[in-house]
Amino acid sequence: MPENTFDIVSIVEMPEVVNAISQAMKEIITRYDLKDSKSSIDLNDKEKKILLAGKDEFKLKAVVEILEGKLAKRKVPLKALIYGPVQPAAGSTVRQEITLQVGIPTEKAKEIIKAIKDSKKKVQASIQGDLVRVSGKDRDTLQDIIALLAARTSASTCVHQLPLQLDRGAPHRKSPHPGTRRQPRSAPRGARGPRTPASRPRLPPPSALWGHHAQ
């Protein structure tokens, strides 16, 4: 009987991060209370880090609030932001580094798999690079697993601490490079449009599409 699969992923759409930073800087430049505050936001795309600077901690906090607002409007999950400490910088300024969590860390992936195994459902879950792949023969059972994970996002669990999305599984395919997009296999090559954040449902809601593949 054919296997049905879906992937649990944690992906940040980097183009949306770039747009949010651009919009945040435009607001900072026009804000009277941030005039001459030496405020800046820079993105290190290679290392997936955002570098913030400000005249003092009060100004830096205002910069953070502006950035978070722009990211939220662009549908970038704020759970993906890992804040470093505020540190003194050159010119009597302060700086802060934000790391973007892209991909599911191994320890968190193991906790997700444990939660799935504890459900006693007849599915298989495995770590595939920076994602967790779930497969099973019964679609209703897979839907139960999706509902389980959706419920855990509302509790104080490891799942709650990560921005998770559902993606269509693809057996024997390596995990994508962090920040890259996965194309669905339901459309023929050449007929696929660009993926958007809306096409990769987050958890919750417990609704998702999964691939249908023969073993």
For residue 177, give the CATH number of its domain. 3.30.70.860
Same domain for 117 and 188, yes or no, is yes
Domain that holds residue 87: 14-100
Please give the DSSP secondary-structure letter assigned to residue 35.
T
Structural domains of the chain, count: 2
For 200-212, the pLDDT digits (tens) are 444 443 333 333 3
Domain finish residue from 41, 67, 100: 100
Going by C-alpha positions, the residue among 149, 143, 141 that lies closest to residue 121 is 141
Question: What phi and psi values does residue 31 have, to the nearest 5 degrees?
Answer: -75, 125
The burial class, CB within 10 Å (0-12 / 13-18 / 19+), for 48 is buried
Same domain for 110 and 48, yes or no, is no
Going by C-alpha positions, the residue among 20, 176, 212, 160 that lies closest to residue 98 is 20
Measured CA to CA, the distance from residue 173 to residue 104 in angstroms comes to 17
Confidence of residue 164 (pLDDT cuts 50, 70, 90): confident
Same domain for 111 and 94, yes or no, is no
Average pLDDT over residues 87-108: 92
Instruction: Give the list of residues 6+ apart from residue 198 with CB closer than 8 angstroms, or none.
Output: 75
Question: What phi and psi values does residue 130 have, to the nearest 5 degrees?
Answer: -105, 25
Domain finish residue from 70, 100, 130: 100
For 33-82, the pLDDT digits (tens) are 998 889 999 999 999 999 999 999 999 999 999 999 999 999 999 989 99
CATH of the domain at 86: 3.30.70.990
Q: pLDDT exceeding 70 applies to what percent of the chain?
A: 73
Contact by Cβ (8 Å): 5, 213? yes
Same domain for 86 and 181, yes or no, is no
Same domain for 181 and 134, yes or no, is yes
Q: Which amino acid is at 47?
A: E
Same domain for 179 and 199, yes or no, is yes
Instruction: Give the list of residues 6+ apart from residue 187 with CB closer than 8 angstroms, or none.
Output: none
For residue 206, whether the previous peptide bond is cis, meaning omega lies within 30 degrees of 0, is: no
Global pTM reads: 0.71
Same domain for 68 and 119, yes or no, is no
Same domain for 118 and 186, yes or no, is yes
Instruction: Give the list of residues 6+ apart from residue 108 with CB closer than 8 angstroms, or none.
Output: 158, 161, 162
Same domain for 80 and 168, yes or no, is no
Axis crossing angle, helix 57-73 with helix 14-30, rounded to the nearest 10: 130
Instruction: Give the list of residues 6+ apart from residue 33 with CB closer than 8 angstroms, or none.
Output: 62
Confidence of residue 3 (pLDDT cuts 50, 70, 90): confident
Same domain for 94 and 149, yes or no, is no
